[in-house]
Amino acid sequence: MIIDDLKVPYYAVIFSTILTDNISGYLETANKIEVLAKEQPGYLGIESARSEVGITVSYWQNLDAIVAWKNNLEHIEARNLGREKWYKKYQLRICKVEREYGFEK
């Protein structure tokens, strides 16, 4: 699903990943973390796609909300599991969105 009702400015956390061959438990943990993120103050939404490279973009009201999410204990545990088991490589980028536009038929 594409989120198209956010009010600028807001922040986007772009999480790009390449998985290892051992993804046992990955989908369950990813789903649990997405549900948990939705409960966090300042959370605005999420978009995700996966093929050879997975890209997840989460949207937040401000940098404080992103830092609070980063420091959430369950999120830390999942992140550590990802480093140990699931991710061959990942890159995280935090961006301030100041303008946006779209198209829909």
Domain CATH for 58: 3.30.70.100
Which residues on neighbouring strands pair with residue 13, listed in sequence order? 58, 94
Look at the block and give the residue holding tokens 């990813």: 30
- pLDDT value of residue 1: 80
pTM: 0.92
Mean pLDDT by 10 residues, the chain (105 residues): 93 98 95 96 96 96 98 97 97 98 93
As a whole number of Å, the end-to-end CA separation of the chain is 15
Please give the residue range of the domain that contains residue 27.
10-97
Q: Work out how many domains the chain is built from and give that number.
A: 1
